[in-house]
């Protein structure tokens, strides 16, 4: 799994690629440490290329959301595949996150 971060007009777009599971969830969390430390407040996590996410991955996203909310940052998810989206639904997390179909929509929504 890898996370590539880019910035456009103060919005930080984090493109995640690969599987987010028990082995990679720690790495995912670390990839956002810098953004949290620098108190970046507009975050898009683009998940078009995430093929699978397990409970530890979902929990890591919840933990990131909590960390961002602590200083008033907003975090949006975009590009979830049908399979990944169904995992959000099973765990009832789809209502917790601001989820948009496409990355561009998420950027525009700020």
Partner 1 sequence: MDDREVIIKAEGIHKAFGENQILNGVDLEIYKGETFVIMGGSGCGKSTFLRHLTGALTPDKGRVSLLGKDLALLKEAEKEDVLKKIGMCFQSSALFDSMTVAGNISLPLREHTKLEGNVIDIVVKMKLELVGLRGFENLMPSQLSGGMKKRVGLARAIVMDPQVIFYDEPTAGLDPIVGGVIDKLILDLSKKLSITSVVVTHDMNSVFRIADRVAMLYKGRVVEVGTANQIKNTENELVRQFITGQPDGPISFMQTGDDYLESLTK
Contact set for partner 1, span 35-54 (CB under 8 A): 54
Instruction: Report the residue number, 29 or 42, with the smaller CB distance to partner 1.
Output: 29
DSSP string, 9-37: TTEEEEEEEEEESTTTHHHHHHHTHHHHH
SS3 assignment, position 41: coil
Residues 6+ apart with CB under 8 A from 30: none
Least distance between partner 1 and beta carbon 66 (Å): 8
**Per-residue contact string for residues 76-105; x = within reach of partner 1 by CB under 8 A:** --------------xxxx------------
> With the C-alpha atoms ordered 102, 107, 96, 15, is the resulting torsion angle positive or negative?
positive
66 versus 102: smaller Cβ distance to partner 1? 66
CA distance 51 to 40: 27
In whole angstroms, the minimum distance from the beta carbon of 6 to partner 1 comes to: 26
Judged by CB under 8 A, the number of residues near partner 1 is 19
Given the rule CB under 8 A, which residues bind partner 1?
A: 21-23, 25-26, 29, 54-56, 58-60, 62-63, 66, 90-93
């Amino acid at each position: 799994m890898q996370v590539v971060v880019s910035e456009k007009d103060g919005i930080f777009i984090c493109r995640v690629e690969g599987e987010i599971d028990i082995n990679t969830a720690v790495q995912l969390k670390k990839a956002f440490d810098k953004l949290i430390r620098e108190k970046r407040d507009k975050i898009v996590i683009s998940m078009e290329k995430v093929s699978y996410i397990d409970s530890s991955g979902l929990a890591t996203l919840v933990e990131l959301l909590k960390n961002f909310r602590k200083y008033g940052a907003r975090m949006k998810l975009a590009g979830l595949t049908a399979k990944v989206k169904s995992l959000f639904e099973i765990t009832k997390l789809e209502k917790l996150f601001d989820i948009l179909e496409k990355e561009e929509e998420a950027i525009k929504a700020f």
